[in-house]
């Protein structure tokens, strides 16, 4: 299925909205328990994890790096880097990502950290059962346009490295 067939709507998120949504997520999480460490799912979870780490005063932040998206196409996920965490820490381990979509990436993270609390800012129906806490649900056919992907919040902007041409 091509991106044109899969996504019929766009949900633009501004920097201000993302920050508000991350703070709302932090409010939900602070009420649950004290957290000792955050694992950000890179790259999308890096900004939300930084905001949540600040709000919850968490100093230990690591990443699990999983590649699955190229522009609007989702491929097979590949683990590029695993986070290092001791088993005894999992009860206070918080995994943070920007979005759970189909659940492919979330399933990999769940397999690595089965008892950790998984929080995302946004969730789609197919992936929602894999996360414990989220703020906003959008339909499966919606492409979320994050502020780092757009200048005008209307069209996708290619990363600088992709704009370079040889000679």
pLDDT for 116-166, tens place per residue? 999 999 999 999 999 999 999 999 999 999 998 866 555 666 655 566 554
Residue 81 has pLDDT above 50, yes or no: yes
DSSP 143: E
d(C-alpha 31, C-alpha 153), whole Å: 33
CATH architecture of 17-152: 3-Layer(aba) Sandwich (3.40)
Selecting among 21, 62, 87, 101, the annotated active-site residue is 101
Selecting among 5, 57, 98, 149, the annotated active-site residue is 98
DSSP 36: -
Overall size of the chain counted in residues: 167
By the 10 Å C-beta count (0-12 exposed, 13-18 middle, 19+ buried), 79 is classed as middle
Tell if the pTM clears 0.85, that is, is over it.
no
101 is catalytic: yes
5 is catalytic: no
Selecting among 87, 97, 126, 141, the annotated active-site residue is 97
Give CA 119 to chain center in angstroms: 8
The domain locations on the chain are: 17-152
Number of H helices, E strands in the chain: 5, 8
141 is catalytic: no
pLDDT of residue 118: 97
């Amino acid at each position: 299925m091509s991106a044109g067939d899969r996504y019929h709507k766009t949900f633009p998120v501004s920097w201000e909205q993302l920050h508000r949504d991350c703070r709302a997520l932090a409010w939900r999480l602070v009420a649950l328990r004290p957290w000792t460490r955050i694992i950000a799912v890179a790259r999308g979870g890096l900004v939300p994890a930084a905001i949540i780490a600040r709000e919850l005063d968490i100093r230990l932040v690591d990443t699990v790096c999983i590649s699955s998206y190229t522009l609007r196409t989702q491929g097979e996920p590949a683990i590029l880097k695993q986070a290092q965490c001791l088993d005894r820490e999992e009860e206070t381990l918080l995994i943070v990502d920007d979005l759970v979509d189909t659940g492919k990436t979330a399933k990999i993270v769940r397999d690595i950290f089965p008892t950790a609390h998984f929080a995302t800012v946004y969730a789609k129906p197919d992936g929602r059962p894999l996360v414990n806490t989220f703020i906003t649900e959008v339909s499966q056919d919606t492409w979320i346009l994050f502020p780092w992907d757009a200048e005008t919040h209307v069209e996708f902007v290619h990363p600088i490295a992709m704009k370079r041409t040889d000679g």
